Amino acid sequence: MSKAHVGFQVRQHNPWRLWIGISLVVVLLMIMFLLGRTYQSFELAQLRLQQEVIESRIAELEQRNISLVKDNAQLKGISKIEHDAYELARQSEVVLQRNLLDLKEQLVFYQGIVSPEQMSLGINLQSLELNKRNDLGLYSYKLVLSKRGKSDKFVKGDFEIMIKGQQNDEQVDLSLETLKRDYNSSDVDFSFRYFQMFEGDLQLPEQFEPYDIQLKINPSTKKIKSFTESISWAQALSGGSN
């Protein structure tokens, strides 16, 4: 008995399904792109809102500190327990205010990076900090430079650091080249899009008493002017210049 012939099977091709799939992929990509831009705008708005809240909080704390100073004069005649409680509260206020100030500086710094359209192209001295390593004149330093202005290109150049002080009753100026351990000419070159950090150790000579730090920025990028800033040695040791 022979088997019946099955014959050919006709399969229907639907090209519209392929086009619908491609269209869905394109729509999803567009949605993801728009969501990304919306999220960036939201983050920037949050930073600005947080900065406004911090500024308002700092102003409030300054007024409270003024009141605390006035109240302190009236606390001399009260009990030691109440006075200690007041001192604890006052110290807490001081710590909180310092933290808020630090946060405000960070917000201003990052806002300058993500929204610099209102500023001309330039370079900022973000901070210069010193830390004492030992009693033999060894210090570590940390220098942070940041870019100011609307531009995606790198800023380039170099900087000079001069330590001014007294030695044997005479004014002496010492360059970073003479003070930095393992100094290399590339140690003072910068090239960055947003910011750059420089770190190292300084060895001061015996009987040298520093009192001032002079920083000169020499940009090689067009339209950026060179400038010089002076920071006291004590200010750099206390947490740097901002």
pLDDT at residue 217, as a whole number: 95
Does residue 157 sit within a domain? Answer: yes
Tokens standing for residue 79: 């009990």
pLDDT at residue 14, as a whole number: 62
Of the residues 84, 114, 144, the one at which a domain ends: 114
Give strand ranges (E) for the chain: 122-132, 138-148, 155-167, 170-175, 189-192, 195-203, 208-219, 227-232
Tokens standing for residue 23: 């269209």
pLDDT at residue 23, as a whole number: 78
Query: Do 145 and 104 sit in the same domain of this protein?
Result: no
Query: Do 136 and 223 sit in the same domain of this protein?
Result: yes
Dist CA 201 CA 143 (whole Å): 12
| Residue-range definition of the domain harbouring residue 96 | 23-114
Of the residues 67, 82, 114, the one at which a domain ends: 114
**Tens-digit pLDDT profile for the chain (242 aa)?**
455 555 545 455 566 677 777 778 777 888 777 776 666 666 666 666 766 676 676 667 667 666 666 665 555 555 566 666 666 666 666 666 566 656 655 665 555 555 544 567 889 898 899 999 998 999 999 999 988 876 678 899 999 999 999 998 899 999 999 999 888 889 999 999 888 999 999 999 999 999 999 999 999 998 888 999 999 998 888 765 55
pLDDT at residue 54, as a whole number: 67
Does residue 17 sit within a domain? Answer: no
Does residue 182 sit within a domain? Answer: yes
**For residue 213, what is the domain's CATH number?**
2.60.40.1400
- Domains held by the chain: number: 2
pLDDT at residue 181, as a whole number: 80
Q: Is residue 160 within 8 Å of residue 175, measured between CB atoms?
A: yes
Query: Do 126 and 81 sit in the same domain of this protein?
Result: no
